[in-house]
Amino acid sequence: MTDKTALRAIARAARAAFVAAPHPPIRVDARFVALLSSGLVVASYVPIGAEADPGPLEQAARDAGCTLALPHVVDRATPLRFLHWEQDATLVAGPFGLRQPGDAVVEVAPDIVLTPLVAFDRRLNRLGQGAGHYDRAFAAFPAARRIGVAWSAQMLDTIPTDPWDAPLDAIATDCDWITA
Ligand SMILES: Nc1nc2c(c(=O)[nH]1)N(C=O)[C@@H](CNc1ccc(C(=O)N[C@@H](CCC(=O)O)C(=O)O)cc1)CN2
Ligand SMILES: Nc1ncnc2c1ncn2[C@@H]1O[C@H](COP(=O)(O)OP(=O)(O)OP(=O)(O)O)[C@@H](O)[C@H]1O
């Protein structure tokens, strides 16, 4: 646990330095587009701080006729819910500086989860915020494809894993599409 905390600090510093300089957007790999089809529910996220902007992947999903969703968070302890994200819908302020759909918006089950990362490694292990929101979401939707989204600078050599950690299926960065 302490290990993960120290690695988060390293990766957040690398991420902040990366976005402080000019950088390309997240790449849309043809292998991501190949996963998309009309009617699939793709959960994305609204980036905060120096997080990677998943916008290009969202656009590809909308172009393919997918339905978009966003996580809705109440606090650290409460599992997140994925709510329908109508294009141009008004988002409301949530905890942690997040923008999210209002809590009355319809809940959906994601087929693909675009997952914000604090850090990742080549073996598709990830570090998030440490509140367990995505760990619990992956347990709740085991059939959903887990796609990490991060800047290339957030890659670490090795991320330690705990029994509850599910590896990602793929990671989209500004320069790579990483799979097993
Ligand atoms: N953009 C985005 N949306 C997201 C997440 C995320 O990581 N990023 N989540 C991921 O689970 C969920 C929200 N859960 C969160 C849990 C804890 C913190 C948190 O502790 N934030 C720190 C700042 C960390 C930083 O600078 O990177 C804080 O508020 O002190 C944030 C979000 C769902 N939505
Ligand atoms: N299925 C689950 N149900 C309840 N709690 C869980 C579950 N999976 C993980 N947790 C808890 O969530 C926390 C996750 O901590 P960890 O440091 O691994 O987060 P993380 O890897 O940064 O991932 P996340 O993005 O999900 O926060 C741990 O306290 C763990 O006990």
Q: ipTM score of the complex?
A: 0.96
Phi, psi of 107 (to 5 degrees): -85, 145
Mutate to test the pocket of ligand 1, among 129, 133, 134 (most ligand atoms within 8 A of CB): 129
Which pLDDT belongs to residue 2? 60
Q: Which residues of the chain have pLDDT under 70?
A: 1-2
Instruction: Tell me how far apart the alpha carbons of residues 166 and 62 are, in angstroms, rounded to a whole number.
Output: 27
Q: Whose CA is nearest to atom 1 of ligand 1?
A: 47
Structure confidence at residue 120 (pLDDT)? 98
Ligand 2 proximal residues by C-beta, below 6 Å: 4, 127-136, 139, 162, 164-165
Please tell me whether the overall predicted TM-score, pTM, comes out greater than 0.90 for this model: yes
pLDDT value of position 122: 98
For the chain, domains (ranges, CATH) are 4-178 (3.40.50.10420)
Substitution site in 10, 126, 133, 135 for ligand 1 pocket (most atoms within 8 Å of beta carbon): 133
pLDDT of residue 58: 98
Residue nearest to atom 28 of ligand 2 (CA): 132
